[in-house]
Amino acid sequence: MPIQERFLLSVDLESVPLMRSRALVIGSGVAGLAAAISAARHGPVILAAKGILDDSNSNQAQGGIAAALGEDDQPELHAADTMEAGGGLCDPEAVRILVEEGRLRCQELIDLGTPFDRENGEIAFTREGAHSRRRILHANGDATGRAIVATMLTRVSHLPGVLCLENHFAIDILHRDGVCYGALFLDTKYGRLLRVEAAFTVVASGGLGQVFRETTNPAVATGDGYAICYRAGAVLQDMEFVQFHPTTLYRAGAPRFLISEAVRGEGAYLLNQMGERFMTRYAEAAELSPRDVVSQSIFKELNRTGDTFVSLDLRHLDPALIAERFPNIMAFCADYGIDIVQDLVPVRPAVHYMMGGVKTDLDAATSVKNLYAAGEVASTGVHGANRLASNSLLEALVFGHRAGAAAAEDIHPFPDPLLTRRLPAKGTRLDVEDLSRSLKAITWRNIGVYRNGIHLLETVETIRAWSTFALSEQFQMRPGFEVQNMLTTAMLIAVSAMRRTESRGAHQRSDYPESNPEWLSHNQVQIDRLDGEMSISGRLAWKP
């Protein structure tokens, strides 16, 4: 089915200012910073951020980073928990790399001075849902991502070979004949184009939460990396597996602020509006079940009771512990009149993380030569159908490092550029803001926690129709480029979800409520360059 690609009206790439570097990294979260630090050992690096350097999903991560560093823990236990949460779709070798190299990468963060919280001089660990051990490192209570990003940014600032470009939006990948050699950027501060050519490119652009109406993700998470890699011909995998975080603040006038899973890890309960602890009705592990189970259970309870939210209860916990572990959550809720020590906290699920993404091998390489992907935008095989809590920062750290290590490869010659150039269709013109709101509404309604074939088909056909309309001049600026990427990404999710005729992990179909052993496989999506349509295939996954 057709999907709109970026159109560039009469862009003469030869006239666009050019920069060259051994490595180009797109994104400044943990994955991008890890790639830049690793790549800088082999030559110069250009690190491009869509906004300011510390505006990323990584920076907002609260709960922590998982690593088997405790005396009672082993990488094999961490691997087993990861595989159990992943619904049969985790790649065992990728998981092995994650848990083993993750310990080394976390130790490097400790050595760099990351201010992880301590007890009696030793690293303090907490536990989150579906972990069998207390293995979550955290910093400043509930500001782990911010602490890690700050530490890594300091490290990057002391590397003379790294040039950081803020406010540079990646419009598209430069590629020809299946080879990537950089990207075209829009300098959003000055409205100028910039062409960056590089021996290899790492896309570490983060997630896609802004495709949906309710999300924990920052405004920059518009799915750009998925879209630009798709247009460059890369294979994307498992795009149906969108993770909802079970507990985000649900208060009028407040953003969907994430209430960390670590709150439940420390003993908080979920209550319905009648004051009943309902999770024991749906899962043996109750509040410490995997995220997909908790999110789905909350929606079942809301459907049963007719309410719009449930409540998180911390009132039985030690107030001193709450203040020490969750100072940012406490302060944010207080701004909206909620004292988390004494009051129930209204919560409901919201889009939080994409398990699928650009398919990579164990060294973060995509199907396009010299194009790598790391972090949330990538599908490494680690998360399967449902990500284990606090594995996201770890994956970004481990595979970002691996992507950067690819800088040791020989530099290839830079070919003539190739970019998709499509003139807008004739017909009704669309407004950027109206289209964005309409897209968020239909994805939230039809590609949410529960899905069915009729609504998925409606979504696909609606997005296809929107993608053929003429677009105003606004669509040649950042907001317009973002909306086009959101359309592409939403279509990738809807098509993948429509094809997977079963329920598994974060993908739940009301018309196919059971898991099907025949679907122990991956959805793969790739653009067909001949007609611009999607090519969809399935590949068998590892079977236990």
Confidence of residue 416 (pLDDT cuts 50, 70, 90): low
Which stretches of 296-370 are assigned E, i.e. beta strand?
Answer: 310-313, 345-354, 357-359
**What percentage of residues in the chain have a pLDDT greater than 70?**
89
Confidence of residue 375 (pLDDT cuts 50, 70, 90): very high
Q: How far, in Å, CA of 476 to CA of 108, rounded? A: 42
Q: How far, in Å, CA of 186 to CA of 154, rounded? A: 26
Under 8 Å between Cβ of 228 and 377: no
Confidence of residue 422 (pLDDT cuts 50, 70, 90): very low
Residue 390 has pLDDT above 70, yes or no: yes
Q: Report the candidate in 494, 516, 492 with the shortest Cα–Cα distance to residue 505.
A: 516
Please give the C-alpha separations between residue 218 and each of 72, 94, 256, 257, in angstroms, as whole numbers. Answer: 36, 28, 10, 10
pLDDT, position 517: 92
DSSP H/E element including 25: strand 18-26
CATH of domain 244-350: 3.90.700.10
Please give the C-alpha separations between residue 186 and each of 8, 44, 181, 274, 366, in angstroms, as whole numbers. Answer: 12, 21, 17, 52, 24
Q: Which amino acid is at 86?
A: G
pLDDT, position 3: 34
pLDDT, position 327: 92
Q: How far, in Å, CA of 472 to CA of 479, rounded? A: 12
Joined together, the tokens standing for residue 256 give 């969907």
Confidence of residue 11 (pLDDT cuts 50, 70, 90): low
Under 8 Å between Cβ of 143 and 326: no
Q: How far, in Å, CA of 182 to CA of 265, rounded? A: 43
CATH topology of domain 47-241+355-408: FAD/NAD(P)-binding domain (3.50.50)
Q: Which amino acid is at 197?
A: E
Residue 540 has pLDDT above 50, yes or no: no
pLDDT, position 129: 78
Q: How far, in Å, CA of 52 to CA of 50, rounded? A: 7
Mean pLDDT in the chain? Answer: 89
Q: Reply yes or no on whether 291 is catalytic.
A: yes
Q: How far, in Å, CA of 262 to CA of 260, rounded? A: 5
> pLDDT tens across 257-316, in order?
989 888 998 999 999 999 999 999 999 999 988 888 999 999 999 999 999 999 999 999
Joined together, the tokens standing for residue 301 give 């309870």
Under 8 Å between Cβ of 179 and 415: yes
> pLDDT tens across 32-91, in order?
999 999 999 999 999 999 999 988 878 777 778 999 999 999 999 999 999 999 999 999
- 431 against 199, higher pLDDT: 199
* Domains in the chain: boundaries: 47-241+355-408, 244-350, 429-514
pLDDT, position 423: 38
Handedness of CA 21, 23, 29, 35 (dihedral sign): negative
Residue 534 has pLDDT above 70, yes or no: no
Joined together, the tokens standing for residue 438 give 């309409």
- 539 against 263, higher pLDDT: 263
> pLDDT tens across 132-190, in order?
999 999 998 778 989 999 999 999 999 999 999 999 999 999 998 899 999 999 999 99
Pairing mode, strands 122-123 and 118-119: antiparallel
Which class is 429-514 in CATH?
A: mainly alpha
> pLDDT tens across 203-236, in order?
999 999 999 999 999 899 999 999 999 999 999 9
Beta-bridge mates of residue 195: 18, 184
Please give the C-alpha separations between residue 178 and each of 94, 276, 327, 385, 414, in angstroms, as whole numbers. Answer: 25, 57, 49, 29, 13
Residue 420 has pLDDT above 80, yes or no: no
Selected catalytic residue, list 291, 387, 478, 500:
291
